[in-house]
Structure 1
Amino acid sequence: MSEYERELAEAQREHWQQTYGEHPAMYGEEPSEPAVHAATVFRAGGARDVLELGAGHGRDALYLAREGFTVQATDFSPTGLDQLRAAARAQGVAGRVTTAVHDVRDPLPLPDASVHAVFAHMLLCMALSTTELHTLVAEVRRVLRPGGVFVYTVRHTGDAHYGAGAGHGDDIWEHGGFAVHFFTRDLVDALAEGWQLQEVHAFEEGGLPRRLWRVTQTLPR
Protein backbone atom coordinates (compact mmCIF):
# COMPACT_ATOMS: atom_id res chain seq x y z
CA MET A 1 0.00 0.00 0.00
CA SER A 2 1.35 3.41 -0.96
CA GLU A 3 1.51 6.26 1.56
CA TYR A 4 -1.35 7.97 -0.30
CA GLU A 5 -3.52 4.82 -0.10
CA ARG A 6 -2.67 4.44 3.58
CA GLU A 7 -3.71 8.03 4.31
CA LEU A 8 -6.97 7.57 2.36
CA ALA A 9 -7.73 4.35 4.23
CA GLU A 10 -7.14 5.98 7.61
CA ALA A 11 -9.24 9.01 6.67
CA GLN A 12 -12.10 6.69 5.68
CA ARG A 13 -11.79 4.74 8.93
CA GLU A 14 -12.07 7.96 10.93
CA HIS A 15 -14.97 9.16 8.78
CA TRP A 16 -16.96 5.96 9.38
CA GLN A 17 -16.19 6.01 13.10
CA GLN A 18 -17.52 9.56 13.30
CA THR A 19 -20.54 8.74 11.14
CA TYR A 20 -21.61 5.78 13.26
CA GLY A 21 -21.02 7.81 16.42
CA GLU A 22 -23.17 10.69 15.25
CA HIS A 23 -25.84 8.57 13.55
CA PRO A 24 -26.44 5.34 15.50
CA ALA A 25 -28.24 2.68 13.47
CA MET A 26 -27.98 5.01 10.48
CA TYR A 27 -29.29 2.42 8.01
CA GLY A 28 -32.24 1.44 10.16
CA GLU A 29 -33.22 -1.96 11.53
CA GLU A 30 -34.70 -3.55 8.42
CA PRO A 31 -32.34 -5.79 6.41
CA SER A 32 -31.12 -4.82 2.99
CA GLU A 33 -32.67 -6.52 -0.04
CA PRO A 34 -29.34 -8.22 -0.82
CA ALA A 35 -29.25 -9.74 2.68
CA VAL A 36 -32.75 -11.18 2.23
CA HIS A 37 -31.66 -12.64 -1.12
CA ALA A 38 -28.43 -13.96 0.38
CA ALA A 39 -30.30 -15.76 3.17
CA THR A 40 -32.35 -17.61 0.55
CA VAL A 41 -29.26 -18.54 -1.46
CA PHE A 42 -27.29 -19.59 1.61
CA ARG A 43 -30.13 -21.73 2.94
CA ALA A 44 -30.60 -23.43 -0.43
CA GLY A 45 -26.91 -24.29 -0.42
CA GLY A 46 -27.06 -25.80 3.04
CA ALA A 47 -25.01 -23.05 4.70
CA ARG A 48 -25.12 -22.76 8.48
CA ASP A 49 -22.45 -20.16 9.21
CA VAL A 50 -21.87 -16.81 7.54
CA LEU A 51 -19.02 -14.32 7.57
CA GLU A 52 -20.20 -10.76 6.94
CA LEU A 53 -17.58 -8.25 5.84
CA GLY A 54 -18.26 -4.59 6.57
CA ALA A 55 -21.18 -5.33 8.87
CA GLY A 56 -21.39 -1.79 10.27
CA HIS A 57 -24.07 -1.47 12.96
CA GLY A 58 -25.44 -4.84 11.98
CA ARG A 59 -28.84 -4.67 10.34
CA ASP A 60 -27.93 -7.52 7.96
CA ALA A 61 -25.90 -9.58 10.43
CA LEU A 62 -28.80 -9.44 12.87
CA TYR A 63 -31.28 -10.45 10.17
CA LEU A 64 -29.13 -13.44 9.21
CA ALA A 65 -28.90 -14.45 12.87
CA ARG A 66 -32.68 -14.19 13.23
CA GLU A 67 -32.95 -16.44 10.18
CA GLY A 68 -30.99 -19.11 12.05
CA PHE A 69 -27.46 -18.62 10.74
CA THR A 70 -24.40 -18.33 12.97
CA VAL A 71 -22.79 -15.02 11.96
CA GLN A 72 -19.30 -13.66 12.37
CA ALA A 73 -19.53 -9.92 11.69
CA THR A 74 -16.44 -7.86 10.93
CA ASP A 75 -15.95 -4.13 10.41
CA PHE A 76 -13.12 -1.64 10.85
CA SER A 77 -15.37 0.57 13.01
CA PRO A 78 -15.44 -0.42 16.70
CA THR A 79 -18.33 2.02 17.17
CA GLY A 80 -20.47 0.24 14.57
CA LEU A 81 -19.73 -3.16 16.13
CA ASP A 82 -20.57 -1.85 19.62
CA GLN A 83 -24.01 -0.92 18.26
CA LEU A 84 -24.32 -4.34 16.61
CA ARG A 85 -23.59 -6.22 19.84
CA ALA A 86 -26.05 -4.11 21.81
CA ALA A 87 -28.76 -4.78 19.22
CA ALA A 88 -27.95 -8.51 19.21
CA ARG A 89 -28.49 -8.64 22.97
CA ALA A 90 -31.74 -6.69 22.68
CA GLN A 91 -33.04 -9.01 19.95
CA GLY A 92 -32.03 -12.19 21.75
CA VAL A 93 -29.56 -13.38 19.11
CA ALA A 94 -26.29 -12.61 20.89
CA GLY A 95 -25.51 -16.33 21.00
CA ARG A 96 -25.54 -16.48 17.21
CA VAL A 97 -23.38 -13.42 16.54
CA THR A 98 -19.69 -12.79 17.13
CA THR A 99 -17.83 -9.66 16.08
CA ALA A 100 -14.26 -8.73 15.20
CA VAL A 101 -12.73 -5.35 14.43
CA HIS A 102 -10.99 -5.99 11.14
CA ASP A 103 -9.72 -4.08 8.11
CA VAL A 104 -10.23 -6.15 4.95
CA ARG A 105 -6.83 -4.99 3.71
CA ASP A 106 -5.46 -7.48 6.24
CA PRO A 107 -5.82 -11.29 6.07
CA LEU A 108 -9.21 -12.51 7.24
CA PRO A 109 -9.14 -13.72 10.87
CA LEU A 110 -10.39 -17.22 10.05
CA PRO A 111 -8.80 -20.60 9.25
CA ASP A 112 -8.82 -22.08 5.76
CA ALA A 113 -12.12 -23.63 4.58
CA SER A 114 -13.93 -22.67 7.78
CA VAL A 115 -17.21 -21.01 6.67
CA HIS A 116 -20.08 -21.92 4.38
CA ALA A 117 -20.89 -18.43 3.09
CA VAL A 118 -19.61 -14.85 2.91
CA PHE A 119 -21.75 -11.74 2.55
CA ALA A 120 -20.65 -8.16 1.90
CA HIS A 121 -23.08 -5.34 1.12
CA MET A 122 -21.18 -2.40 -0.45
CA LEU A 123 -17.94 -3.34 1.32
CA LEU A 124 -15.97 -4.15 -1.82
CA CYS A 125 -16.80 -0.74 -3.30
CA MET A 126 -15.17 1.15 -0.46
CA ALA A 127 -11.77 2.85 -0.92
CA LEU A 128 -10.01 -0.37 -1.93
CA SER A 129 -7.60 -0.45 -4.85
CA THR A 130 -8.00 -3.08 -7.58
CA THR A 131 -4.96 -4.88 -6.18
CA GLU A 132 -6.48 -4.89 -2.69
CA LEU A 133 -9.76 -6.22 -4.08
CA HIS A 134 -8.02 -9.16 -5.74
CA THR A 135 -6.21 -9.91 -2.48
CA LEU A 136 -9.46 -9.71 -0.51
CA VAL A 137 -11.34 -12.04 -2.87
CA ALA A 138 -8.45 -14.50 -2.65
CA GLU A 139 -8.86 -14.38 1.14
CA VAL A 140 -12.61 -15.01 0.81
CA ARG A 141 -11.78 -18.00 -1.37
CA ARG A 142 -9.33 -19.25 1.26
CA VAL A 143 -11.82 -19.20 4.16
CA LEU A 144 -14.77 -20.65 2.24
CA ARG A 145 -15.43 -24.38 2.20
CA PRO A 146 -15.63 -26.09 -1.22
CA GLY A 147 -18.99 -25.23 -2.74
CA GLY A 148 -19.22 -22.14 -0.52
CA VAL A 149 -21.13 -19.05 -1.66
CA PHE A 150 -19.98 -15.43 -1.82
CA VAL A 151 -22.67 -12.76 -2.27
CA TYR A 152 -21.53 -9.16 -2.53
CA THR A 153 -22.85 -5.86 -3.82
CA VAL A 154 -21.04 -2.90 -5.35
CA ARG A 155 -21.87 0.44 -6.87
CA HIS A 156 -20.86 0.57 -10.52
CA THR A 157 -19.82 3.08 -13.15
CA GLY A 158 -23.45 3.69 -14.14
CA ASP A 159 -24.08 5.30 -10.75
CA ALA A 160 -24.86 9.03 -10.62
CA HIS A 161 -21.91 9.71 -8.31
CA TYR A 162 -19.36 8.09 -10.62
CA GLY A 163 -16.99 10.84 -11.69
CA ALA A 164 -18.36 13.29 -9.11
CA GLY A 165 -16.40 14.79 -6.24
CA ALA A 166 -12.71 14.19 -5.60
CA GLY A 167 -11.00 11.58 -7.73
CA HIS A 168 -8.43 9.27 -6.14
CA GLY A 169 -7.61 7.21 -9.23
CA ASP A 170 -8.50 3.57 -9.95
CA ASP A 171 -12.21 4.53 -10.37
CA ILE A 172 -12.34 5.71 -6.71
CA TRP A 173 -14.33 8.92 -6.22
CA GLU A 174 -15.08 10.68 -2.95
CA HIS A 175 -18.40 12.46 -2.52
CA GLY A 176 -19.71 13.80 0.79
CA GLY A 177 -16.76 12.30 2.63
CA PHE A 178 -17.41 8.74 1.43
CA ALA A 179 -14.86 7.28 -0.98
CA VAL A 180 -16.29 4.67 -3.38
CA HIS A 181 -14.60 2.34 -5.86
CA PHE A 182 -17.09 2.18 -8.74
CA PHE A 183 -16.93 -1.21 -10.46
CA THR A 184 -16.80 -1.97 -14.16
CA ARG A 185 -18.20 -5.27 -15.40
CA ASP A 186 -14.66 -6.25 -16.39
CA LEU A 187 -13.63 -5.95 -12.73
CA VAL A 188 -16.54 -8.18 -11.62
CA ASP A 189 -15.47 -10.79 -14.17
CA ALA A 190 -11.82 -10.56 -13.16
CA LEU A 191 -12.69 -11.10 -9.49
CA ALA A 192 -14.76 -14.16 -10.48
CA GLU A 193 -11.87 -15.97 -12.18
CA GLY A 194 -11.61 -19.46 -10.71
CA TRP A 195 -15.16 -19.21 -9.31
CA GLN A 196 -18.52 -20.17 -10.75
CA LEU A 197 -20.22 -16.82 -11.44
CA GLN A 198 -23.91 -17.46 -10.82
CA GLU A 199 -25.43 -14.00 -11.20
CA VAL A 200 -24.76 -10.31 -11.71
CA HIS A 201 -28.05 -8.63 -10.84
CA ALA A 202 -28.57 -4.89 -11.33
CA PHE A 203 -30.66 -3.07 -8.73
CA GLU A 204 -31.13 0.36 -7.15
CA GLU A 205 -31.12 1.43 -3.52
CA GLY A 206 -31.75 4.67 -1.66
CA GLY A 207 -33.05 8.04 -2.69
CA LEU A 208 -30.40 9.04 -5.26
CA PRO A 209 -30.80 6.19 -6.21
CA ARG A 210 -27.52 4.31 -5.88
CA ARG A 211 -27.03 1.90 -8.75
CA LEU A 212 -25.52 -1.41 -7.80
CA TRP A 213 -24.77 -4.96 -8.87
CA ARG A 214 -25.48 -7.94 -6.65
CA VAL A 215 -22.93 -10.61 -7.46
CA THR A 216 -23.30 -14.27 -6.52
CA GLN A 217 -20.39 -16.64 -7.08
CA THR A 218 -19.55 -20.06 -5.71
CA LEU A 219 -16.40 -22.10 -5.18
CA PRO A 220 -16.15 -25.30 -7.18
CA ARG A 221 -16.50 -28.44 -5.07
Structure 2
Amino acid sequence: MAGSEQELADAQRRHWQSTYTAHPGMYGEQASDPAVHAASVFRTAGARDVLELGAGHGRDALYFAREGFTVQATDFSATGLEQLHEAARAQGVEERVATAVHDVRDPLALPDASVDAVFAHMLLCMALSTKEIHALVGEIRRVLRPGGAFVYTVRHTGDAHYGAGTAHGDDIFEHGGFAVHFFDRDLVDALADGWVLDEVHAFDEGGLPRRLWRVTQTLTR
Protein backbone atom coordinates (compact mmCIF):
# COMPACT_ATOMS: atom_id res chain seq x y z
CA MET A 1 0.00 0.00 0.00
CA ALA A 2 1.36 3.43 -0.95
CA GLY A 3 2.17 5.84 1.85
CA SER A 4 -0.74 8.16 1.05
CA GLU A 5 -3.16 5.21 0.94
CA GLN A 6 -1.90 3.95 4.32
CA GLU A 7 -2.26 7.40 5.83
CA LEU A 8 -5.85 7.64 4.56
CA ALA A 9 -6.66 4.14 5.84
CA ASP A 10 -5.23 4.93 9.28
CA ALA A 11 -7.11 8.25 9.44
CA GLN A 12 -10.38 6.55 8.51
CA ARG A 13 -9.90 3.86 11.15
CA ARG A 14 -9.36 6.54 13.81
CA HIS A 15 -12.37 8.48 12.55
CA TRP A 16 -14.69 5.47 12.74
CA GLN A 17 -13.41 4.52 16.20
CA SER A 18 -14.08 8.02 17.53
CA THR A 19 -17.46 8.17 15.76
CA TYR A 20 -18.70 4.93 17.34
CA THR A 21 -17.38 6.06 20.71
CA ALA A 22 -19.16 9.41 20.48
CA HIS A 23 -22.37 7.97 18.98
CA PRO A 24 -23.04 4.43 20.31
CA GLY A 25 -25.52 2.57 18.14
CA MET A 26 -25.41 5.46 15.68
CA TYR A 27 -27.43 3.66 12.98
CA GLY A 28 -30.15 2.51 15.36
CA GLU A 29 -31.44 -1.00 15.99
CA GLN A 30 -33.64 -1.50 12.93
CA ALA A 31 -32.11 -3.58 10.14
CA SER A 32 -31.26 -1.84 6.89
CA ASP A 33 -33.48 -2.52 3.88
CA PRO A 34 -30.55 -4.19 2.05
CA ALA A 35 -30.14 -6.62 4.98
CA VAL A 36 -33.82 -7.55 4.82
CA HIS A 37 -33.41 -8.21 1.09
CA ALA A 38 -30.22 -10.18 1.68
CA ALA A 39 -31.86 -12.40 4.31
CA SER A 40 -34.53 -13.34 1.78
CA VAL A 41 -31.90 -14.10 -0.87
CA PHE A 42 -29.81 -16.13 1.55
CA ARG A 43 -32.80 -18.09 2.83
CA THR A 44 -33.91 -18.93 -0.71
CA ALA A 45 -30.40 -20.16 -1.48
CA GLY A 46 -30.47 -22.42 1.59
CA ALA A 47 -27.75 -20.49 3.45
CA ARG A 48 -27.23 -21.10 7.14
CA ASP A 49 -24.16 -19.01 7.93
CA VAL A 50 -23.47 -15.41 6.94
CA LEU A 51 -20.25 -13.43 6.90
CA GLU A 52 -20.87 -9.70 7.30
CA LEU A 53 -18.02 -7.38 6.40
CA GLY A 54 -18.04 -3.91 7.92
CA ALA A 55 -20.69 -4.83 10.48
CA GLY A 56 -20.15 -1.73 12.62
CA HIS A 57 -22.24 -1.81 15.79
CA GLY A 58 -24.26 -4.66 14.36
CA ARG A 59 -27.83 -3.72 13.48
CA ASP A 60 -27.75 -6.01 10.41
CA ALA A 61 -25.68 -8.79 11.98
CA LEU A 62 -28.16 -8.92 14.86
CA TYR A 63 -31.05 -9.03 12.39
CA PHE A 64 -29.49 -12.00 10.59
CA ALA A 65 -29.03 -13.76 13.93
CA ARG A 66 -32.65 -13.10 14.93
CA GLU A 67 -33.67 -14.57 11.58
CA GLY A 68 -31.89 -17.80 12.51
CA PHE A 69 -28.57 -17.44 10.66
CA THR A 70 -25.20 -17.98 12.27
CA VAL A 71 -23.23 -14.77 11.75
CA GLN A 72 -19.54 -13.95 11.58
CA ALA A 73 -19.30 -10.16 11.89
CA THR A 74 -16.11 -8.27 11.12
CA ASP A 75 -15.15 -4.60 11.25
CA PHE A 76 -11.95 -2.61 11.72
CA SER A 77 -13.55 -0.75 14.63
CA ALA A 78 -13.16 -2.65 17.89
CA THR A 79 -15.51 -0.13 19.50
CA GLY A 80 -18.32 -0.93 17.09
CA LEU A 81 -17.88 -4.67 17.57
CA GLU A 82 -17.94 -4.28 21.37
CA GLN A 83 -21.32 -2.59 21.02
CA LEU A 84 -22.46 -5.43 18.73
CA HIS A 85 -21.38 -8.07 21.23
CA GLU A 86 -23.20 -6.35 24.09
CA ALA A 87 -26.37 -6.03 22.01
CA ALA A 88 -26.20 -9.70 20.95
CA ARG A 89 -26.06 -10.73 24.61
CA ALA A 90 -28.97 -8.43 25.49
CA GLN A 91 -31.07 -9.82 22.63
CA GLY A 92 -30.34 -13.44 23.46
CA VAL A 93 -28.55 -14.25 20.19
CA GLU A 94 -24.98 -14.25 21.50
CA GLU A 95 -24.51 -17.92 20.60
CA ARG A 96 -25.22 -17.16 16.93
CA VAL A 97 -22.89 -14.17 16.57
CA ALA A 98 -19.09 -14.20 16.44
CA THR A 99 -17.07 -11.00 16.02
CA ALA A 100 -13.55 -10.31 14.80
CA VAL A 101 -11.61 -7.10 14.28
CA HIS A 102 -10.45 -7.18 10.67
CA ASP A 103 -9.27 -4.75 8.02
CA VAL A 104 -10.56 -5.87 4.64
CA ARG A 105 -7.29 -4.81 3.04
CA ASP A 106 -5.92 -7.99 4.61
CA PRO A 107 -6.86 -11.56 3.58
CA LEU A 108 -9.88 -13.02 5.33
CA ALA A 109 -8.94 -15.38 8.17
CA LEU A 110 -11.29 -18.09 6.93
CA PRO A 111 -10.78 -21.36 5.05
CA ASP A 112 -11.70 -21.79 1.41
CA ALA A 113 -15.39 -22.46 0.69
CA SER A 114 -16.35 -22.06 4.35
CA VAL A 115 -19.37 -19.70 4.34
CA ASP A 116 -22.77 -19.81 2.65
CA ALA A 117 -23.32 -16.08 2.12
CA VAL A 118 -21.61 -12.71 2.41
CA PHE A 119 -23.15 -9.30 3.12
CA ALA A 120 -21.52 -5.86 3.04
CA HIS A 121 -23.54 -2.67 3.38
CA MET A 122 -21.45 0.29 2.12
CA LEU A 123 -18.21 -1.47 3.02
CA LEU A 124 -16.81 -1.78 -0.51
CA CYS A 125 -17.23 1.97 -1.05
CA MET A 126 -15.08 2.94 1.92
CA ALA A 127 -11.60 4.40 1.35
CA LEU A 128 -10.41 1.41 -0.66
CA SER A 129 -8.53 1.61 -3.93
CA THR A 130 -9.90 -0.17 -6.99
CA LYS A 131 -7.07 -2.69 -6.62
CA GLU A 132 -7.99 -3.33 -2.98
CA ILE A 133 -11.67 -3.75 -3.86
CA HIS A 134 -10.83 -6.35 -6.49
CA ALA A 135 -8.60 -8.17 -4.01
CA LEU A 136 -11.38 -8.16 -1.41
CA VAL A 137 -13.94 -9.59 -3.84
CA GLY A 138 -11.37 -12.24 -4.73
CA GLU A 139 -11.18 -13.15 -1.03
CA ILE A 140 -14.98 -13.25 -0.81
CA ARG A 141 -15.04 -15.59 -3.78
CA ARG A 142 -12.43 -17.79 -2.08
CA VAL A 143 -14.35 -18.21 1.18
CA LEU A 144 -17.82 -18.64 -0.36
CA ARG A 145 -19.14 -22.11 -1.01
CA PRO A 146 -20.20 -22.86 -4.62
CA GLY A 147 -23.65 -21.42 -5.22
CA GLY A 148 -23.16 -18.92 -2.39
CA ALA A 149 -24.65 -15.43 -2.61
CA PHE A 150 -22.93 -12.09 -2.12
CA VAL A 151 -25.06 -9.00 -1.49
CA TYR A 152 -23.37 -5.62 -1.22
CA THR A 153 -24.27 -1.94 -1.47
CA VAL A 154 -22.18 0.99 -2.65
CA ARG A 155 -22.62 4.70 -3.25
CA HIS A 156 -22.26 5.45 -6.94
CA THR A 157 -21.19 8.31 -9.19
CA GLY A 158 -24.75 9.66 -9.36
CA ASP A 159 -24.52 10.59 -5.66
CA ALA A 160 -24.58 14.30 -4.72
CA HIS A 161 -21.26 13.97 -2.86
CA TYR A 162 -19.43 12.53 -5.88
CA GLY A 163 -16.78 15.06 -6.82
CA ALA A 164 -17.32 17.08 -3.63
CA GLY A 165 -14.99 17.57 -0.69
CA THR A 166 -11.37 16.42 -0.67
CA ALA A 167 -10.30 14.34 -3.68
CA HIS A 168 -7.97 11.42 -2.94
CA GLY A 169 -7.90 10.02 -6.50
CA ASP A 170 -9.41 6.79 -7.84
CA ASP A 171 -12.96 8.24 -7.43
CA ILE A 172 -12.42 8.59 -3.64
CA PHE A 173 -13.75 11.81 -2.12
CA GLU A 174 -13.77 12.79 1.54
CA HIS A 175 -16.70 14.80 2.90
CA GLY A 176 -17.38 15.49 6.58
CA GLY A 177 -14.48 13.27 7.62
CA PHE A 178 -15.76 10.19 5.77
CA ALA A 179 -13.93 9.03 2.65
CA VAL A 180 -16.01 7.24 0.01
CA HIS A 181 -15.04 5.38 -3.15
CA PHE A 182 -17.88 6.12 -5.57
CA PHE A 183 -18.61 3.26 -7.97
CA ASP A 184 -19.40 3.48 -11.66
CA ARG A 185 -21.22 0.68 -13.46
CA ASP A 186 -18.02 -0.57 -15.11
CA LEU A 187 -16.57 -1.37 -11.68
CA VAL A 188 -19.71 -3.27 -10.64
CA ASP A 189 -19.55 -5.31 -13.84
CA ALA A 190 -15.83 -5.98 -13.43
CA LEU A 191 -16.35 -7.26 -9.88
CA ALA A 192 -19.02 -9.66 -11.20
CA ASP A 193 -16.66 -11.29 -13.70
CA GLY A 194 -16.88 -15.03 -13.11
CA TRP A 195 -20.06 -14.67 -11.04
CA VAL A 196 -23.74 -14.65 -11.95
CA LEU A 197 -24.83 -11.02 -11.64
CA ASP A 198 -28.40 -11.41 -10.43
CA GLU A 199 -29.38 -7.80 -9.84
CA VAL A 200 -28.17 -4.21 -9.65
CA HIS A 201 -30.89 -2.28 -7.83
CA ALA A 202 -30.77 1.50 -7.42
CA PHE A 203 -32.09 2.99 -4.18
CA ASP A 204 -31.77 6.04 -1.94
CA GLU A 205 -30.91 6.15 1.75
CA GLY A 206 -30.72 8.92 4.31
CA GLY A 207 -31.54 12.59 4.23
CA LEU A 208 -29.17 13.78 1.49
CA PRO A 209 -30.22 11.34 0.06
CA ARG A 210 -27.32 8.99 -0.58
CA ARG A 211 -27.57 7.30 -3.98
CA LEU A 212 -26.67 3.62 -3.86
CA TRP A 213 -26.71 0.38 -5.78
CA ARG A 214 -27.64 -2.91 -4.13
CA VAL A 215 -25.79 -5.65 -5.96
CA THR A 216 -26.68 -9.34 -5.72
CA GLN A 217 -24.36 -11.87 -7.31
CA THR A 218 -23.95 -15.62 -6.99
CA LEU A 219 -20.87 -17.79 -7.17
CA THR A 220 -21.27 -20.37 -9.90
CA ARG A 221 -21.39 -23.98 -8.83
TM-score, with normalisation over the residues of structure 2?
A: 1.00
Distance 2:4 2:173 in 1: 14
Structure 1 vs Structure 2 CA RMSD: 0.3
Q: Which amino acid aligns with 1:92?
A: G
Matches within 5 A, 1:1-221: 1-221=1-221
Question: Paired residues, what number?
Answer: 221
Distance 1:216 1:110 in 2: 22
Distance 1:207 1:109 in 2: 36
Q: Which amino acid aligns with 2:40?
A: T
Distance 2:32 2:173 in 1: 24
The percent of aligned pairs where both chains have the same amino acid is 81
Q: Secondary structure of 2:124's match? A: coil
Q: Secondary structure of 1:147's match? A: strand
Distance 1:207 1:196 in 2: 33
Distance 2:149 2:107 in 1: 19
Distance 2:210 2:62 in 1: 23
Q: Which amino acid aligns with 2:75?
A: D
Structure 1 segments of 4 or more deviating over 6 A?
A: none
Q: Which amino acid aligns with 1:120?
A: A
Q: Which amino acid aligns with 2:90?
A: A
Distance 1:81 1:169 in 2: 30
Report the alpha carbon displacement of residue 175 of structure 1 after superposing the two structures with TM: 0.1
Q: Which amino acid aligns with 2:102?
A: H
Q: Secondary structure of 1:140's match? A: helix
Q: Which amino acid aligns with 2:60?
A: D
Q: Which amino acid aligns with 2:124?
A: L
Report the alpha carbon displacement of residue 109 of structure 1 after superposing the two structures with TM: 1.1
Which string of whole-angstrom CA distances, capped at 9 and with x for unpartnered residues, describes residues 13-57 of structure 1?
000000000000000000000000000000000000000000000
Distance 2:209 2:164 in 1: 15
Distance 1:146 1:27 in 2: 33
Distance 1:215 1:98 in 2: 25
TM-score, with normalisation over the residues of structure 1?
A: 1.00
Question: Runs of 5+ in structure 1 lacking a partner?
Answer: none
Report the alpha carbon displacement of residue 158 of structure 1 after superposing the two structures with TM: 0.2
Q: Secondary structure of 1:149's match? A: strand
Distance 1:31 1:204 in 2: 15
Report the alpha carbon displacement of residue 88 of structure 1 after superposing the two structures with TM: 0.1
Which string of whole-angstrom CA distances, capped at 9 and with x for unpartnered residues, describes residues 107-153 of structure 1?
01110000000000000000000000000000000000000000000
Q: Which amino acid aligns with 1:107?
A: P
Question: Runs of 5+ in structure 2 lacking a partner?
Answer: none
